Chain A
Amino acid sequence: MSQWLPIADIAAKVQAGELKAADLVEQALKTINDKKEYDAIIATTESRARGRAKQVDAGKIKGRLAGVPFIAKDNFLAFGAETTAASNMLKGFTAPYQATAIEKLEAEGAICVAKTNLDAFAHGASTENSDFFTTKNPYDKTRVPGGSSGGSAAAVVLDMAPFAIGTDTGGSIRQPASFSGCVGYKPTYGLVSRSGVVAMASSTDVIGPLTRSVEDAALVLDVMAGRDDLDSTTIEADDQGYLKIDSSVQGKKIGIIREHMAESLDPQIIDVIDSTVKKLEADGAEITEISLPSLPMALAVYYILCPAEVSSNLARYDGQRYPYSYTEAKDMDDSYFGSRGRGFGKEAKRRIMIGTYVLSSGYYDAYYKQAQTVRTKLINEFNEAFRQVDFLVGPVAPTTAFKIGENINNPLQMYLADIMTVGVNLVGNPAISLPAGEIDGLPVGLQLMAPQKADRELLALAKSTEALLV
């Protein structure tokens, strides 16, 4: 049982004076301290959090999230602690301004209490690529929590706060939600501003909530969504918002993704998906099988485009403008090479070099341009699928949480953890991971996907599905 009420109830009770924001913040900080051994947290923002709690309790800050503690992945610029993206390159970086997402949450009275661990610069599927330490899975400390938002997923499941926020570039919210056992929401591309978030792959990066329920995720999304002048890729929020999500699955057309239910998948994961789909069918949903023939190639597309964008976005870390700098350098070139060679971890360097390769003259057409064109093919197939069905359903990841160390020396194997999540990142559609059961004591998620900008409809289906899973 969670110690936290639903988010809307907490805020209502704080506004009514029945709960004190100061107590909620202490409760969150105590839980964080009690569960230190999971290494979910890089730093707390306790002094700032206590100050904000006082203002909420004095009625100076009101809103739909009044007094609700939350935890941000450490790639969000936030006041009260360093913003490191779990990298040595940014260790010591204090944000001069806050991410728009944080500002919007704070404007509604939410209180950031800590920053969570991640794979450095969000490159990874396990938090093992963090330059600092590896977060442990809340169900089994010998296993990973998933990644890259592994600290955020673990923090929610360990009950450290009512919600956390993360980023999802190729599955980094949904896969840890599946591995650790919480709800993870990836909105339509552009729905939440990325201003003030450490950039990874800008054509797929999105921001979303990790929560204990679909209703909590919808409320957090409702607060964060919408156009922002500081991020020109943002789109307008749904004019009905994201809170009207009570609906029936009666008559909803749901397609099972054939390519994700292949024979190679763990039969126990197939069973979990199948049994949920049967419940949806019994409740009146129309289930069909849908094929997306290019989907098995999505991972290859992603591991060309993502490193290409990473190599560009990480060019700014040159030893001159951000904290890490190689101080023994003799001249400028030496400073660039030394700072980048020593400051970046293994995975960042791996991705920078892959990106440099696929963008370099002579290889650009064969790799980068071809990947962008296969991306078009994938978009066409998704659009065709959504002419036949309202939603798609399938697994989140090919396995449950793996052992710490199991994949760390095999980068390609680690990349395969993203195989079922990267597709929607490339096409820009929304998707959600819902806790759907357990296999050998480890949580396993179910993934639902919808057409672009159908976030409200997707959350409504997810809420109905969640009710069937209890």
Chain B
Amino acid sequence: MAKLTREDVLKLARLARLELSDDEIENYREELSEILQYVEQLQDVDVNGLKPTNQVTGLTNVTREDEVRDYGYDTEDLLKNVPKVKDHQIQVKRMLG
């Protein structure tokens, strides 16, 4: 039975790049434990001989010609939602110390 600790929640938050407040950590610890306990009912289901399903309509390998298509999008237009742009590029914070 999944009963998450505070450290478990912090680990998940770290993996998912989420900053959480102390209150949030405690709330999520309880809520996520409850949700995981609910979904654990599947662990007793007999699935012997069955394969997992990833795609439900049976499509496989939908391919197309590898060619350039012009959809008429303008670079400026595609960058207009980006918080910080410099010389047509996305500007981010320093990555290396």
Please report A residues at the B interface, Cβ cutoff 8 Å: 92-94, 96-97, 188-190, 203, 229, 232-233, 235, 294, 297, 300-301, 303-304, 311, 318-325, 327, 329-338, 340-342, 344, 349-350, 352-354, 356-358, 360, 366-367, 369-377, 379-380, 411-412, 415, 426-428, 452
Contact = CB atoms under 8 A, between A and B. Distances in A.
Q: Is the interface of A mostly helix, strand, loop or mixed?
A: helix
Contacts of A97: 71, 73
Contacts of A373: 47, 50-53
B45 A377 contact: yes
B68 interface: no
A322 B81 contact: yes
A369 B92 CA distance: 36
B50 A349 contact: no
Contact of A366 (B16, B24, B43): B43
Given A332-B94, A340-B19, A367 B39 contact: yes
A330 B53 contact: no
A428 B19 contact: no
6 contacts: A320-B92, A331-B94, A333-B17, A341-B18, A360-B12, A377-B45
Interface size class on chain B is: 35 or more
B14 to A, nearest CB: 9
Contact of B32 (A324, A327, A357): A357
Contacts of B13: 341, 353
B43 A375 contact: no
Contacts of B83: 319-320, 322-325, 327
B35 A352 contact: no
B37 to A, nearest CB: 9
Given A233-B62, A235-B59, A415-B38, 9 more contacts: A301-B42, A303-B39, A337-B18, A349-B20, A353-B9, A357-B32, A371-B39, A379-B56, A411-B34
